[in-house]
């Protein structure tokens, strides 16, 4: 299994266009510190890739990786489809950016699809440009990403009922939809036996997620905030990290405690511009390194 880390930043990216905080100013002065919105690409076959989340940076993210470039025919693209972990704007706005495609496949849970179609009217927006096929992201059992293939298989692990603000009033069709607004994605390659877990937004750590993490060869999870008080301390919110839908890294019950005992390769992604981890010289990197935990960076290639 081959994974490409296309971005590692939380909403707004780093630098954020309207922010002059130390992290954003530092990224403007030192371009190697820039981070695009969190996204991942997974190879399902020769010249076939699925992108996990469609960020506002999707055009640049595709251009940054030769593996994702079109060709040899003029309109032939290796991007076979999109997988969505949630309906947040920073993970879905890039869908409209792909309107030039002849056809587009989007794999998402029912509440995420409903938010995009009913609230953002994405189906109506794209219909004059391209044909969009919506496919359910399986929550029970795993299905091949390429339906006619025996290659990489996928399943979703519900982790949160946190919905985006624009979809606050959408009713859930049934009780099972409540926790499916935000999911972790488990990718499994039957040929090699390798598996990866990708969870860029975590408001909770359910038992099923713990089991998947314990079985995985690579775990990439939400590193939005270092500690629970970070949003309050930095003045970006009047809510804690947990209240904003992101488990903190540090502190009692933090994700570092959960990741430390695992044998998998463990990485953080989805860093907010307030996080000390966006500074490559911050001492928090050494604390994580002692636990065997890494901070993912844009352009990272992971082969399992």
> Which pLDDT band, with edges at 50, 70 and 90, does 49 fall under?
very high
On the question of pLDDT at 97 being above 80, the answer is yes
Q: CA-CA distance, 6 to 258, in Å (whole number)?
A: 25
Sequence-distant (≥ 6) Cβ neighbours of residue 260 within 8 angstroms? 291, 292, 293
Average pLDDT over residues 174-188: 85
Strand partners, 160: 180, 182
Residue whose pair of structure tokens reads 């002059």 in the numeric block: 20
Instruction: Output the pLDDT for position 129.
Output: 97
Q: Record the tokens describing residue 175, joined without a space.
A: 């009780």
How many other C-beta atoms are found inside a 10 Å radius of the C-beta of residue 211?
11
Q: Residue 214: give the domain boundaries.
A: 2-303
What CATH number is associated with residue 56? Answer: 3.60.15.10
**Strand intervals (E) in the chain:** 2-7, 39-45, 48-52, 79-83, 103-108, 131-136, 143-144, 153-160, 182-188, 195-199, 218-222, 265-269, 293-295, 301-303
Distance (Å) of CA 24 to CA 16, 21, 30, 55, 104? 6, 5, 10, 19, 34
Instruction: Output the pLDDT for position 259.
Output: 98
Secondary structure (DSSP) of 185-246: EEEE-TTT--EEEEES--S---HHHHHHHHH-SEEEEE-S-SSTTHHHHHTS-SS-TTTTT-
Average pLDDT over residues 191-197: 96
> Which pLDDT band, with edges at 50, 70 and 90, does 176 fall under?
low
On the question of pLDDT at 239 being above 90, the answer is yes
Strand partners, 131: 103
> Which pLDDT band, with edges at 50, 70 and 90, does 174 fall under?
low
Instruction: Output the pLDDT for position 221.
Output: 98
Give yes or no for a contact between 175 and 149, defined as CB atoms under 8 angstroms apart: no
On the question of pLDDT at 211 being above 70, the answer is yes
Q: Record the tokens describing residue 295, joined without a space.
A: 């901070």
> Which pLDDT band, with edges at 50, 70 and 90, does 234 fall under?
very high
Average pLDDT over residues 181-209: 96
Q: CA-CA distance, 37 to 20, in Å (whole number)?
A: 18
Q: Tell me which of 150 and 301 has the higher pLDDT.
A: 301
Provide the mean pLDDT of the chain: 95
Q: CA-CA distance, 230 to 215, in Å (whole number)?
A: 31
On the question of pLDDT at 35 being above 80, the answer is yes
Query: Is the peptide bond prior to 72 cis by the omega test (within 30 degrees of 0)?
Result: yes
The proportion of the chain whose per-residue pLDDT surpasses 90, expressed as a percent, equals: 91
On the question of pLDDT at 177 being above 80, the answer is no
Average pLDDT over residues 271-298: 97
Count of domains forming the chain: 1
DSSP letter at 66 equals G
Q: Record the tokens describing residue 153, joined without a space.
A: 């298989």
Instruction: Output the pLDDT for position 172.
Output: 74
Sequence-distant (≥ 6) Cβ neighbours of residue 16 within 8 angstroms? 24, 273
Number of residues in the chain = 304
């Amino acid at each position: 299994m081959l994974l490409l880390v296309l971005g590692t930043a939380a909403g707004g990216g780093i630098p954020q266009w309207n922010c002059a905080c130390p992290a954003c100013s530092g990224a403007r002065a030192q371009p190697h510190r820039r981070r695009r919105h969190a996204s991942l690409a997974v190879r399902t076959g020769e010249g076939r890739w699925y992108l996990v989340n469609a960020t506002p940076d999707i055009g640049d993210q595709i251009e940054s990786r030769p593996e994702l470039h079109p060709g040899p025919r003029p309109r032939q693209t290796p991007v076979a489809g999109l997988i969505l972990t949630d309906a947040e704007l920073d993970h879905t706005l890039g869908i409209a950016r792909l309107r030039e495609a002849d056809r587009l496949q989007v794999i998402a849970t029912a509440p995420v699809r409903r938010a995009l179609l009913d609230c953002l009217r994405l189906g109506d927006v794209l219909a004059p440009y391209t044909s969009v096929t919506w496919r359910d992201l399986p929550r029970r059992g795993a299905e091949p990403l390429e339906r006619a293939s025996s290659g990489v298989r996928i399943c979703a692990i519900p982790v949160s009922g946190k919905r985006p603000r624009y979809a606050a009033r959408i009713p859930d069709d049934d009780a099972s939809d409540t926790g499916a607004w935000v999911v972790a994605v488990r990718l499994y390659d039957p040929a090699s036996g390798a598996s990866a877990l990708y969870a860029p937004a975590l408001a909770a750590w359910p038992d099923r997620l713990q089991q998947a993490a314990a079985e995985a060869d690579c775990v990439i999870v939400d590193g939005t905030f270092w500690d629970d008080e970070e949003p309050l301390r930095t003045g970006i919110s009047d809510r804690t990290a947990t209240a904003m839908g992101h488990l903190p890294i540090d502190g009692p019950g933090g994700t570092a405690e959960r990741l430390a005992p695992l044998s998998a390769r463990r990485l953080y992604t989805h860093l907010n511009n307030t996080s000390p981890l966006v500074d490559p010289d911050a001492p928090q990197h050494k604390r994580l390194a002692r636990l065997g935990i890494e901070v993912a960076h844009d352009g990272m290639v992971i082969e399992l």
